[in-house]
Structure 1
Amino acid sequence: MATIGTGAITAEFIAAVKENPQTEIAGLYSRNADHGTAFATTNGLPDVPVYDDLDKMLADPSIDLVYVASPNSLHFAQTKAVLLAGKHVITEKPAFTNPAQFAVIARLLNARPQQFYFEAARHIYTPNFSKLQRAIGGKTVTGAVLSYAKYSSRYDAVIAGETPNVFSPRFAGGALQDLGVYLVYAAIALFGKPIAAHYRPHMLTTGVDGGGIGTLEYPNFTVYLRPDKTVQSRVPSEVYLGKDTVWTDNIAELTQVGYYHGSSAAFDTLGGDQPANGMSSELARFTEIIQNDDRAAFAEQFQLSARVNEVLYALRQDAGLQFPAAVEAAPDVD
């Protein structure tokens, strides 16, 4: 497989690949060859080919899968290019900015039934997320609060008057598109698709949201979302089951999962040890689906990705969060 992007998340993915006996890195892409070579060396891959021409990398027959971890605004075009090259693709969340882009990818996959696409939403593949699901399963949900507020390492630059990529409309940035993806994925994986979605953002001078409060409306309950990149919060996430509460310390990491019975201060510990590398579980699952040609599991993951894309777009539209036309564009399938 190969990677696109040279950020910290790509380094983490490479570490997961090294842990998995079924996978290995056969190429890396960076727009800057020198930067790509340095990145390869830093990550223990000095002999792996580094490309600064995406088409050349995609023409390499030894590469069968590509991990896309470029800025958000580049995900669609690069995912499309990978599929057109006949390779599987894992695209970092959020994969695409709107349902029109997602529809193009769906048509490409329909025409290429031997290929797979996955959106990298690592938290929902972890053992503790499965335990959270089982704790809720079969019970009557009466509400939930899902929070992920983490002070961004790039927010100080915003305060200083700069516009880093993660806080730029040109790169499809902002809290909802970043941390909010974890919350929407968790909500839809746990409760299904909502009947309505609303978002009230805290806008920054860069033109994106630094944080906000979202609501997902279900027939008999409401899920509150709190993504934020301008504060460091330690508020847990909770799912309400009438008098009982299922909670996790962090919905994106799920280090701890517990079940409170009524008003008791004591709780049952549900969570166990999580993998040291948060991407290990999703990579193992994606690899398993590809190797077994498990079309049913693929269809389930694809539908979840589609629903997340639709709900994220609905939240952004409700808030009036706009990206440039070039970012929103969805060219026809070649």
Structure 2
Amino acid sequence: MKLAFDKHDFLANYWQKKPCLIRQGFTNFTDPVSPEILAGLAMEEGADSRVIQSNTGTDSGWLVTHGPFEDYEKFGESDWTLLVQSVNEWLPDVGDLITPFRFLPDWRIDDVMVSFSCENGGVGPHLDQYDVFIIQGAGSRHWRVGERQSMQEYQPASDLCQVKGEFKAIIDENLSAGDVLYIPAGCPHEGIALEPSLNYSVGFRAPSKAELLLQLGDIAMQQESLQKRYQDPGISAEDTSWEIQKKQLVALKSFLKEALSSDETDALLARIVSQSKRPLPEPELPTTAQQIPDLLSQPNAFIEKASGARFLKLSDTEFYGNGEAFSISADALSTAQWLAQLQGSEPASALAELAHSESQSELIAEMINQGIIYLYIDES
């Protein structure tokens, strides 16, 4: 699947700057999931799903019901939307929708949310705190999107955020199958189904400073080298005890900047951004490096990266996956880069051509045991 548009123009003029509509970004688009399969997935205990209803007769007019669901008859035939998060982690065909967007950093990719809306279904005008590409599947939907702006948010129902007041739309269009709408974080938007419709939202996380600092603080507590204590910048007997002095603030900020600018902090940030959104499924039995050559040589063996897994390069000797550091020897670098670039399923024989040393086998075994990649036999 290929996204038909000018990536250079998009990155220069739209990415994180302003919304844009890519007409027929995917020509002859075929839905990777049906409404029936999506509805069935929302019945599963582990799926993160909800139905949002409008025109409910409640004070606010909105109602949110969380799954798992037993049936959908009570919702009627219009004015509701089913949303299921991280469908890419359940259905590989939906995960394939991420591949065309891998010209953007892998660590930014969050998940693929899929929604099915009955006629007039929607979630109201709202803001997202992430960048998103919305792919129109079956059906048609009307979208209004505004430029990034500050708007007051409120909750008309539990777990539903909307914006107050009207916003000026710079995109006001009907979308059909294969159209792609890009919306940067902080841009108000609203979509209403004109008929039963499927939409696929490929989300890219945009963490705030507060979120990153919180994550960094948690992980930094485990690092002995970051336990250095603050020291006062030349206290004088004449200083006022109850006054926070400018030199003290400068010293505190310098103390923090020293920590943030260290090479060790680079490694901590790499651990944070390589962490999967949800725990990866680890194999029941560990794989050893000695088993790798035989596993890769099995007929019809394929290797695949787990849905939601990240494997990121920080340097030629350091890769990070699932929040863990992988030390890479010189002879294993080509294998590490092959695994980092892995998209979809690839014949295990292609990896076997690279992996001839013990260190390469150790890397592959460790990644299997971490749940980042897995091998399977195609018996079809």
Task: Report the TM-score when normalising by structure 2.
Answer: 0.23
More strand by percentage: 2
> Per chain length, whose mean CA-contact separation is higher, i.e. which structure has more relative contact order (CA < 8 Å, sep 6+)?
1
Q: Which structure would you say has the larger Rg? A: 2
Task: Report the TM-score when normalising by structure 1.
Answer: 0.25
More helix by percentage: 1
